[in-house]
Amino acid sequence: MSVLVGKQAPNFSADAVVNGDFKTVSLSDFKGKYVLLFFYPLDFTFVCPTEMHAFQEKLADFKKLGTEVVGVSIDSKFSHAAWLKTKKTEGGIEGVEYPIVSDINKTISRDYDVLIPDAGIALRGAFLIDKEGVVRHQTVNDLPLGRNIDEFLRLTEALQFHEEHGEVCPANWSKGEKSMKPDESGLKAYFG
């Protein structure tokens, strides 16, 4: 497993479904914005639609943070479009508004090192990318383990707080809570 944190996020250009239309989406399209890029195994499966809807439910919160949400799987753009037309009650993702990228050649999944070669699908990888295109956080879950979308919001807020104030965010930090200066005196003051 490659650790991409601190490195430039691998750029890509691929077909996607955006607001019901087929478009070419590149990571470089989002330069100057934060990006939460997430991979999921397959359309028309079981844990995946729960995550797709959970990201959609928090999309306005991500937008308030200047963060674009982009989903990626190895399915075709046609499969994505069909899944987007399928009602939630039937296992579909109707109502999802963020771009869903087709990684049919598996190059993006390979570049982000989330591809399961023997299965030909991606693990549940998620990458928080800053405005300069640098990966600042990554997590990879096994197939049966759904993600907590609120944690990605918290991490985005922590990154932005650090960038603005230069202070660091301790364990379990949430917006509005105590931070610390990144030195010994800051640590002592935090615990003091």
Convert the pLDDT of each residue in 102-135 to its tens digit.
Answer: 999 999 999 999 999 999 999 999 999 999 999 9
- Per-residue pLDDT at 56: 98
Q: Which residues are catalytic?
A: 48
- Per-residue pLDDT at 13: 98
Q: Domains plus CATH for the chain?
A: 13-147 (3.40.30.10), 148-192 (no CATH)
Convert the pLDDT of each residue in 148-161 to its tens digit.
Answer: 999 999 999 999 99
Q: Which residues contact 33 (CB under 8 A, 6 or more apart)?
A: 66, 67, 68, 131
Region class of 141: left (phi > 0), else alpha (psi between -120 and 50), else beta:
beta
Q: Containing H/E element for 116?
A: strand 115-116
What dihedral do alpha carbons 72, 74, 75, 80 form, nearest 10°? 0
Mean pLDDT of the chain: 97
8 Å CB contact between 124 and 39: yes
Q: Indicate yes or no: pTM above 0.75.
A: yes
